[in-house]
Amino acid sequence: MRRHLPRFLTLLVILLTFGLALASAVQKSPTMDEQNHIARGAAYLGTGDPRLSVEHPPLVNLLSALPVHLLLHPNLPLDTVWWEAGEWYHFADLFLWEVNANAEQIVFLARLPVLGLGLLLVALVHRWAGQRFGPWGGLLAAAFCGLDPNILAHARLATTDVGGTFFIFLSGYALWRALRRPSALRLLGAGLALGLAFAAKLSALAFGPILTLAALLDGLPGGPGRVRRLMGRAGLMLGLLSLGLVVVWATYRLQIGPLGGGAPLVPAPPYLRGIGAVLDFAAGGRPGYLLGEVSTEGWWYYFPIAFGVKTPLATLVGLLVATGLMSRRPTRDDLLLLVPPAAFFLASTVTRLNLGYRHLLPLLPFLSVHLARLPQSSSHPITQSPNRARRLLSIVLSLWLALATLHIYPHFLAFFNPLGGGPEEGWRVLADSNIDWGQDLKGLRAWMDREGVERVRLAWFGSARPEAYGIPHDLLPGVPHGYFLSSDPGFNPDDPEPGVYAISVSNLVGAALPDPDLYGWFRDREPEAKIGHSVFIYRVEP
C-alpha cells in the first residue's frame, strides 16, 4: 500500500485540478480572446478552410471546437464580408452572439478539450518527475503544476495557452527520452511532438532553436569524438525540426498557396502570414501596462516582474531551494530540463509584446519537474533515500500553495502573490490578461441582483456582449470586442454624471485606451465593490 500511495495521491491532485478548473469555468463569462479561438476552430471544422487560422495555428482551436461541432452543429456566418476577408474578430462576434442562440453551451463545450490538455499536462509532469526523482518527486511536481493558480486560470479557457504549454512540454520530454535511449520510434515521436507544439501556438517556434541548444549542450560532456557527436546532434535536430514543420503543414491539410497577390506559392500560407504578423507586432509594439505606466515600447523587465508577482510564493521558495540542491550535484539531465525554460525566459526580456504572464506558462511544467528533487536526498529513483527535512519542506510548500490557490478560487486569473499586493492591489502592477480579460460579466449580473441596481454605466474590456447576460447598461468609452469604442460622446471624464459605474480594470488603468487617463477620476477613488477583482464599482452621487 505504501508503495502505491504517491500514485494514489497524484490521482487526487489531478481530480482536484479538474474540479477547481471546471467549477471555476462555469462561473466565468468568455474572455477577450475566447470567441476568436472558438470561431476559428469551428470554421475550419465546418469548411475545411483555414483562412482564419493566421495569428494562431489551428491545432488547439480544432480540438476546442470539436465537441461544439459534433454536439451542437453550429451555424457559420459564411455569407458575410468578414468571412470573405478572413477577418476573425467580426466573424467570431457574429458566430457566437448572433447566428447561434446557445453561446453559453458553445463556450462551455469548447473549454472542455483545453481542460483535458491541462490534465494531461499534469500527468506528463508527474511522469517525467517520477522517472527522474521517484514517486514522491512525481507527486510533488504534479501538485505544483496542477494547483498553480496560473495553470488553473488558463486550463479552463478555450484559448491556446495551456494547449501550447502541453505540447511544448511534451516535445521536451520526448526529446529527453530519445536522446537517453535512442530508437527510431522515439526519434519519430520527438519529431511529431515538436510538430504538434509548432501547430499549437506560434510562440512554440522559439522552442525549436531552444531545444536544439539544449541537445547540443547535452552532447558536450564525454570523451573523444566531441565534434563528431555535436555534428550528429545538429543533424538529428535538423531532421526533427524538418519533421515538425511537415506536421504543421499537415494541420493545414497540405495547403499550398500565395502569401499575397502575385507572390510565389508556399506551403501553409496562413501559418507564414501569422509569423509575419507576430514579427510586425514585435517590431511595432502593442500597448502594455506595468506599474502604472502604459507604453508600446515595452520593458525588458516586464516578464521578470510578472513572474515575481504572479508566481505563488511557495513555488518561488521551492525553486530557490531546488536550484541550490541541484548546484551541488548537477547532471546532464538538468540541461534538458532547465535550459528550455531559462532560454525562453531570457528571450522574453527582449520582446516588446508585453501581453501577460500567460506567455510564461511554458516555463511552469519544466520548473515543476525541477522542484521534484526536493523530497529525496538522491536524484536517482533507484538509490533514493528519505530525507525528513526535505519531506517536511515539501509538505509545507505544497500546503502553502494549496491554501493560496483555494483562497483565490474561483478568480484564478486575478492571482497575485503578496509581493504584488495580492489580488486586491495587483491591478496597480499588471493589467489585461493578468487580472482583467473580460471574465466577470456573470459576477456583475449577480452583484446587480443582490444590490438592486437596475442599470450601470459600463466601461467594458472584453468581447462578450453584456446584454447576453441581462445587464442593462450604457456603454462608456472602452475596449469592447477588441476595438476602442466610444458610444457615449457626452461622457465627461473630469466630472462624471451621477450613477453606478462598472469599470473594467484594464480600462481603469488605460492599458489599451488612446487616453490612458480617461478614467483617472475613478482611479483616484476607492471603489464601492470589486467584482472578481476585475470590474470595479463606483457610485457617483448627485
Give yes or no for a contact between 471 and 456, defined as CB atoms under 8 angstroms apart.
yes
Q: Give the mean pLDDT of 65-76.
A: 95
Give yes or no for a contact between 170 and 247, defined as CB atoms under 8 angstroms apart.
no
Quick one: pLDDT at residue 222? 66
CA dist 388 to 129, 373, 376, 397, Å? 20, 14, 9, 14
Q: Give the mean pLDDT of 506-527.
A: 89
Tell me the pLDDT tens digit for each residue of 313-334. Answer: 999 999 999 999 998 888 889 9
Beta-carbon contacts of 209 under 8 Å, excluding residues fewer than 6 positions away, are: none
Quick one: pLDDT at residue 275? 87
Q: Give the mean pLDDT of 72-84.
A: 92
Checking DSSP bridges between strand 529-531 and strand 461-462, what pairing results, if any?
unpaired
Q: Give the mean pLDDT of 250-255.
A: 92
Quick one: pLDDT at residue 288? 87
* Phi-psi region at 482: left, alpha or beta (left = phi > 0; alpha = psi -120 to 50): left
Tell me the pLDDT tens digit for each residue of 386-410. Answer: 578 888 999 999 999 999 999 999 9
Cα(45)–Cα(39) distance, integer angstroms: 10
Q: Say how many CA atoms lie within 13 Å of 501 toward its Cβ.
A: 26
Q: Work out the angle at residue 539's Cα, subtended by the Cα atoms of residues 537 and 542, and round it to the nearest 5 degrees.
A: 165
φ, ψ (nearest 5 deg) of residue 124:
-70, -35
Q: Is the pLDDT of residue 112 over 60?
A: yes
Q: Say how many CA atoms lie within 13 Å of 156 toward its Cβ.
A: 28
Instruction: Assign 360 a pLDDT band (cuts: 50, 70, 90).
Output: very high
Quick one: pLDDT at residue 258? 85
Tell me the pLDDT tens digit for each residue of 193-232. Answer: 999 999 999 999 999 999 999 999 988 876 677 788 888 8
Tell me the pLDDT tens digit for each residue of 430-465. Answer: 999 999 999 999 999 999 999 999 999 999 898 899
Q: Give the mean pLDDT of 475-499.
A: 77
Q: Is the pLDDT of residue 486 over 70?
A: no
**Percentage of the chain exceeding pLDDT 70:** 95
- Residue at 311: amino acid letter: T
Residue 415 CB-density burial (10 A; 0-12 exposed, 13-18 middle, 19+ buried): buried
Quick one: pLDDT at residue 491? 81
Quick one: pLDDT at residue 278? 78
Give yes or no for a contact between 159 and 113, defined as CB atoms under 8 angstroms apart.
no
Cα(202)–Cα(339) distance, integer angstroms: 20
Beta-carbon contacts of 28 under 8 Å, excluding residues fewer than 6 positions away, are: 156, 410, 439, 440, 442, 532
- Residue for grid cell 456566418: 77
Give yes or no for a contact between 286 and 294, defined as CB atoms under 8 angstroms apart.
no
| Residue 462 grid cell | 472584453
Q: Give the residue with greater pLDDT, 118 vs 86.
A: 118
Give yes or no for a contact between 358 and 203, defined as CB atoms under 8 angstroms apart.
no
Q: Is the pLDDT of residue 379 over 60?
A: no
Give yes or no for a contact between 512 and 479, defined as CB atoms under 8 angstroms apart.
yes
Tell me the pLDDT tens digit for each residue of 264-317. Answer: 888 888 898 888 877 777 666 678 899 989 888 888 999 999 999 999 999 999
DSSP string, 175-192: HHHHHHS--HHHHHHHHH
Q: State the pTM of this model.
A: 0.94
Quick one: pLDDT at residue 383? 43
Q: Give the mean pLDDT of 475-500.
A: 77
